Amino acid sequence: MIAIYARVSTEEQAKHGFSISAQIRECQALVESQATLTFIDEGFSGETLQRPALEELRQKIQAGEINTVLCLDPDRLSRKLLHQLLLTEEWEKRGVELSFVHGDYSKTPEGNLFYALRGAISEFEKAKITERMCRGRREKARQGRVLRDFQIYGYDYDSENEQLVVNLNEAKVVEHIFNWYLNPPRGVGGISSIALTLTSQGVPTKRGAKQWHRQVVRQILSNPTYIGEFYQNKWDTTNSQVRLRPVQEWILIPCPSIIEPKVFHRVQEKLSVNSRS
């Protein structure tokens, strides 16, 4: 059986108009009327092998159901040279032929070199695009613009002005959470109890869920956005990892406050004491 693999990331689709249907059409033209199975990863980055359709394709190859894989271009298969070579070696061991519409891959030294160079160039281009986009986002942040909707409870995202604006209904809930934590009313004693109270009162979360969790309440209590200090460029998500950047790299974006600074700092002191306890 011949397998056609097509992929496009959300970024590529938005910026360059890569079309899944066009990829399949060009691959199908090479096999004409022969039966094919189509594997499509739409909205997935080529920097990782953790893609649903690709994983299904590998499973079918392992089961001996596929003898040929056809792809438009090597970078549709993967943006990383190491991953490209890993897949081709894995499939060749099972007798599967890998072909591309753009760029012939053969087992000759010249073919291997060409394939390796194509992969290296693709990876380099991706790195450059990522670097330019990150630089552009940092510049926007330095101009005081909020880059996207970060789904912060108590705020809505004004996409036209690229700013956070207070959601009055949610802001009242935020005020209750801080007040309940500092001065617990009868029946409310601590973060878990606050979460249970909000759930029992039918208050929806930011994403519309019916149940509040302890960690969500704690995140609200720890978020300095509520005193008008929203930070961007705080997290580094490159290389498929998430890590906290050094504080000096954070970019402060002033925003409307919901909680008084003295109240917020009292909450942080109490959180710290409870955490040590």
> Annotated catalytic sites, by residue?
9
Spatial distance between the Cα atoms of 70 and 236, rounded to a whole number of angstroms: 35
Structure tokens at 145: 């613009």
Q: Which residue reads 């509040």 in tokens?
A: 212
Q: Identify whether the C-beta of residue 248 lies closer than 8 Å to the C-beta of residue 162.
A: no
Amino acid identity, position 260: E
By DSSP bridging, strand 235-236 and strand 243-244 are antiparallel
DSSP secondary structure, the chain, as one string: -EEEEEEE-HHHHHHH---HHHHHHHHHHHHTTS-EEEEEEES--TT-S--HHHHHHHHHHHTT--SEEEES-HHHH-SSHHHHHHHHHHHHTTT-EEEESSS---SSHHHHHHHHHHHHHHHHHHHHHHHHHHHHHHHHHHTT---S----TTEEEETTTTEEEE-HHHHHHHHHHHHHHHSPPTT--SHHHHHHHHHHTT---TT--S---HHHHHHHHH-GGGGTEEEES-EE-GGG--EEPPGGG-EEEE---SS-HHHHHHHHHHHHHHHH-
Beta partners for 164? 157
